[in-house]
Amino acid sequence: MVAGIVWLGVFAGLLFSVAGSAAGGVGSETATFAGGCFWCMEKPFEALPGVISVTSGYTGGVTTSPTYENYTAGGHLEAVQIVFDPAVVTYQQLLAVFWRQIDPTDPDGQFVDRGPAYVSAIFYHTEAQREAAELSREELAKSRRFAKPIVTPVRAATPFYPAEEYHQDYYKKNPLRYRYYRNGSGRDQFLEKVWGSTANDSSKTASADLRKRLTPLQYQVTQEEGTEPSFKNEYWDNKAAGVYVDIVSGEPLFLSTDKYDSGTGWPSFAKPISPEAVVERVDRRLFSVRTEVRSAKANSHLGHVFDDGPKPGGKRYCMNSAALRFVPLDRLEEEGLGALRKYFK
């Protein structure tokens, strides 16, 4: 390989403490996978709702603090370490995405990258992960999807060392170089042949689980940019104190203290919990230009924002109840949102 998923700002630390940080927050878990070039392994996992962070790095070796220049000498593999919320995305789902990124029959590397540093491996952090990984590997072998034996090992996790900053999110920082490398590596061609059109689409891998977990209306709103009926939704007239979170990921989005009666029949807020909690983009559907609002982490469609709200901000964040879940004030600590209680004093 040639050398070389969200929340920012002052409030980012608070949001990470709520949903689980890269160091492993309340309720979060860690998974580690080696699949050859770590540039190619970040994007599929970062696209999954419930994934908090994906870090490229080195693991499996015997030396400490390896660098890109010497990690192979220490026996390390290129790998990605994933911090995720198991209430939103399961370890089994991560395994399903992992298998769809690699050639598990190759004992000598992955695609154009050859050598021990590029072999595939699953590094388990708990006994439950070991059992799940071994079962997943057995099921893949029984499926006869591959003509050759599955050789990807399941190994106990060893110290993980983050790679240099220029390797992190390489596909975002250097999109042209990334696409050139990816297209020339042979990875996508192989995955397309084995898995078809869903090979590298982790969102499709997770969609079946979302359909099971969400109601039809919740799925239509968050995943298909639908709109629920006005005045006939759960929170339009809710006056209780608490926090509104993303129905998909549980990320905190709005405070009840910023909610007001807009007369529209949908829950409306003067502002989000922080500017980084949501993402706004132009929506040109329905023969008009509007500003769509999506959650920053799960990328759920929430609603739209308009310029007819109360002063001083003048904004009306008109949301769908189906995209939200309300956490009452007396349950903030129970759901890991205790850091937000200070906003209700």
Catalytic residues: 37, 318
CB 1 within 8 A of CB 181: yes
Residue burial 301-331, b: 16+ Cβ < 10 Å; e: rest: bbbbbbeebeeeeebbbbbbbbbbbbbeeee
Give the whole-angstrom CA distance, residue 227 versus residue 229.
Answer: 7
Which amino acid, residue 45?
F
Give the whole-angstrom CA distance, residue 262 versus residue 279.
Answer: 22
Q: Dihedral of the CA atoms 236, 238, 243, 245 (nearest 10)? A: -40
